[in-house]
């Protein structure tokens, strides 16, 4: 299995993890749960790290996926945690991550 595919499988596993964590939560509950917020942010950091490890050629060949924004969220989460907008994090994990999983699954 090539390195990029291995990284994609890890990203999908991370997406499944956070979707499982929030499965029984609504946005208000998420916004009041420091544990869920921290789990979400750590997952976004993990996903961003793996995206940064994907080969340049692979990312260029799949330019429909916003790789730079994904790694940018990682940087924000890691460096400015206290300034994060957790409503936006909720949107990311409930809308953007399922879409990302669909796109990555199609590639795999």
Any catalytic annotation for residue 62? no
Spatial separation of the C-alpha atoms in residues 31 and 18, rounded to whole Å:
15
Q: Give the total residue count for the chain.
A: 108
Contact 48, 67 (CB under 8 A): no
Spatial separation of the C-alpha atoms in residues 80 and 56, rounded to whole Å:
26
| Selected catalytic residue, list 3, 62, 79, 88 | 79
Q: Average pLDDT of the chain?
A: 94
Instruction: Write down the pTM of the prediction.
Output: 0.90
Supply the DSSP string of 21-54, one letter for each residue: HHTT--HHHHHT-HHHHHHHHHHHHHHHHHHHHS
- What's the pLDDT at 86? 95
| Selected catalytic residue, list 3, 13, 62, 74 | 74
Mean pLDDT value of segment 91-107: 96
Any catalytic annotation for residue 74? yes
């Amino acid at each position: 299995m090539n390195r990029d595919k291995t990284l994609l499988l890890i990203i999908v596993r991370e997406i499944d993890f956070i979707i499982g964590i929030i499965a029984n939560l609504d946005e208000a509950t998420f916004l009041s749960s420091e544990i869920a917020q921290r789990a979400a942010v750590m997952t976004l950091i993990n996903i961003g790290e793996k995206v940064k490890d994907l080969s340049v050629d692979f990312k260029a060949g799949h330019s429909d996926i916003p790789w730079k924004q994904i790694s940018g969220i990682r940087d924000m989460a890691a460096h400015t945690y206290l300034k994060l907008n957790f409503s936006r994090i909720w949107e990311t994990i409930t809308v953007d991550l399922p879409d990302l999983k669909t796109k990555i699954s199609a590639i795999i």
